[in-house]
Amino acid sequence: MIATQVAEYPEEAKYEQPIPLVIEITPGQAKVGLIELFEPGSYEHRSLRVLVDEALTRKNWSIEERLILRDILRQLDGGKLLLHGREIDRPAIQGAAIEKTELGEIYRYILVRVIKPQEGSLAGGILPIYRS
């Protein structure tokens, strides 16, 4: 029998001070996205959609980040912003995981994906089977 290890993250009740929020926005199933950091006290009573919109309208992106932003905006044309498979119209802290850096710094982390339905698919995405 193999024992599984479960990562232990501190419970929110243990925090004496607010912690930062990191939102990563990725186009489709990409492994790399845009990262935006929100300081403690700047996000607690705001919706996730507002924070994502704020992040996407930022102007000082690097060249690499601009390429990712272009992919995100292309996916948004007819696509949706999703967190855990559901749209992001919710408070920012709802659905955030508590993470810890190698140096022991604690923060909230949210991965938002921009998913656009596949173009050119048939009804329901099911391909017909042709037999000869």
Which pLDDT tens digit goes with each residue over 6-53? 344 444 445 557 899 999 999 988 888 999 999 998 888 889 999 999
Which pLDDT score is estimated for 84?
Answer: 87
Average of per-residue pLDDT values in the chain: 80
Which pLDDT score is estimated for 89?
Answer: 87
Q: Tell me the domain boundaries of the chain.
A: 16-116
Secondary structure of 57-116 as H, E, C letters: CCCCCCHHHHHHHHHHHHHHCCCEEEECCEECCCECCCCCEEEECCCCCEEEEEEEEEEC
Domain 16-116's class? alpha beta
pTM across the whole model: 0.74
Which pLDDT tens digit goes with each residue over 71-116? 999 999 888 998 888 888 888 888 889 999 999 899 999 999 998 8
